[in-house]
Amino acid sequence: MKKKLNQFYILALIAGVSIFYSFKTNKGEQIPPKDQILIEALRVILEKGHYEPKLINDTFSEAIFDNFIENLDPYKRYFLAPDIAHLKKYYHDIDNQIIRAKFDFYKEATTIFAQRLKESESYYQEILNKKFNYSVKESISLDEKSSEFPINENARKDVWRKHLKFSTINKLNDYLKEEEDKVKDDKNYKSISFDELEKKARNKTLESIKDLFYYENQTPDDDRFAIFLNCITAQFDPHTSYFAPDMKKRFDSSMAGSIEGIGARLSDERGYTKIVELIPGGPAYKQGDLEVGDFIVKVAQGEKDEPTDIVGMRLSDAIELIKGKKGTTVVLTVKKVDNTYKKISIVRDIVEFEDTFVKSSITIKDGKKYGIIHLPKFYIDFSKQKQRNSGIDMRKEIEALKKEGIKGLAIDLRNNGGGSLSTAIDIAGLFIDKGPVVQVKYKDNDPDIREDTDSKIVWDGPLVIMVNELSASASEILAAAMQDYHRAIIIGSKQTYGKGTVQNILPINQYINYSEDLGALKLTIQKFYRINGGSTQLKGVSSDIVMPDRYHYLNIAESELDAPLNWDQIAKANYNPKEYYSNFSQVVIDMQKQINSNPQFNKIDAYAKWLKNNQDNVTYSLNLKNYQEDQDKLNSEAKQYKDILKYNSPYEFSFPSYEKLLVKNDSILRDKRVAWHKNLQEDIYINEAIETLSKLKVVK
């Protein structure tokens, strides 16, 4: 009930904004510009609806200033130091401008940026027309925080020279290595001269920089303004963000794991819409005429419809014309790779991104079968509740594995960034009797205890949950609940990602009477708490059995982001953990000892430290000889770790029975599953999960 009251309070405040603008319109006054309406609505929602609202003051203003400038010019290649000094007059005024719905800082910053962009574009070609001096001793630092803005145009030109030289030297080194290998492999090979390779490298850099300036120049003001708005939302927490209209559509598709369209991934190649991938099993893939590398130049909504020329059109607008409802026909005029033109008719359909969905495999150890389920995300289609979701699919997968006679189950949540909380609760309920799964708290309210209300346990056998540093949000809820109930052994990284906050998507047009689409706000409105009372925020979930991995020392967790919410705890929920296993503690001790003494895991730990050291090193020599020596050293060290994560498993992996018929009739699915099974055989972490399962003894 409190949750509903809280949501009603937010919506009432937003409605107040709508009423305010409607009143002005009724009086005959001019409707405020779109940007003013948008920022006023966001301010009201953020101040009143965010779980932990921030004071919009001078400190807030400073952070927005720094964030927006960094977003516009991260490598400090456009703005001059005097520009930043000039803009500093707004350093403590952006907060006031937000309150007044004014955009003086934004307008002046983007105006200066556009001017500096044009100036920079005027001389990159001049720099790349001449051969670089590769013998001079100099270096470049790509540390965004420590580098300074150039003091004048000559200094900025030198910054560009260094960046262009770095790009060229990188490519040149690759070309020289390729030539060296060709000479070794073929004694009759006529090698290309250094000067020719150097020119080739500069030309390649030239093409890349042309693309960079093309995209910068094509970026519409709406997109720049969305960046500015997200610099504001980012001060509240890392997961509160503004979605421009096209971004909201992409978010909905990613959550659903499907989209209605032709099943092709597209890119913008300087105004041309290019096919970069065909989704296996999708309409375009099945139709067969569209190929990777083709350019779509015209789009018609049916055979008799007048085609729309999309050359030069913004990619997001072109995509809107190409995709459409299931069963409708789109006619594409395509420029093929041989420069011929062809009309291709494709009937749109629902395109499922198969890699989003649950999948399972079976292996045998000591004559006993064990199941492995991979859950890449907690997916759900909010607009079509009866469509497949991860909770329903997980239940089906477990039921199928039970028919196979498995004696243990491992659920792989590695790299699972979360998704739908409701499906995480449903999945937790598959393994426990009814009871609390997670506590969800609005600000200033008592926690809402979300429970599994179904007393049926779908799987009561040995259970292992696999996690790593990138297991986040709903993954952490499931892992934490299984740990608090003593239902599963959590095996993986030292701790998970540490995202213990809940976001709601608020479409702004539902509450603001405005003719144009204003997008949506993803707003942090709640925090997760384990049923034991601790938050998963920052601390994540600690594994019962810790396995070193490559992420161990890298700065990738929630705690490394700007402005994360703090960890705290509340009272624990009323739940009854059971002793599901007679030897839980002993299995944890034995497996940890086994992992600690495993030479491969020791090497993986050394590899993780090496990766961390390279992550911190962002200074590169621009002297070719020194650059090559550095790269040779790096490559030599990398060879030590080349196959460090590969493992020759004693186990073989196979399809569950229900899938055998599917893969027989679907070669694409078969190839994907065969590739996955090969990866499982080379995955030492899967091996340890199976070993753990085989040792667990369930209390009868």
Catalytic residues: 473, 484, 499
CA distance 260 to 246: 15
Q: Cα dist. 290→308, 311, 320, 342 in Å?
A: 18, 18, 18, 9
Angle between helices 104-121 and 58-72 (to 10 degrees): 20
Which of 257, 229, 228, 250 is closest to 521 using CA atoms? 229
Structural tokens at position 63: 């952070």
* Cβ–Cβ under 8 Å, residues 463 and 402: no
Which of 692, 642, 646 is closest to 492 using CA atoms? 692
DSSP H or E run through 296: strand 295-300
* CB neighbours of residue 518 within 10 Å: 22
Residues 6+ apart with CB under 8 A from 370: 362, 363, 364, 406, 407, 408, 409, 410, 690, 693, 694
CA distance 101 to 91: 16
SS3 of 582, please? Answer: coil
Which of 34, 20, 41, 43 is closest to 510 using CA atoms? 41
Which of 308, 293, 278, 247 is closest to 517 using CA atoms? 247
CA distance 338 to 335: 8
Specify burial of residue 267 (Cβ count, 10 A radius: 0-12, 13-18, 19+): exposed
> What sign has the CA pseudo-torsion 113, 117, 119, 120?
positive
- DSSP symbols for 12-63: HHHHHHHHHHHHHHHTTPPPPPHHHHHHHHHHHHHHHHSSSPPP-SHHHHHH
* DSSP collapsed to 3 states, 51-97: CCCCCCCHHHHHHHHHHHHHHHCCCCCCCCHHHHHHHHHHCCCHHHH
CA distance 352 to 163: 41
* Cβ–Cβ under 8 Å, residues 526 and 51: yes
DSSP H or E run through 264: strand 264-269
Angle between helices 104-121 and 221-233 (to 10 degrees): 130
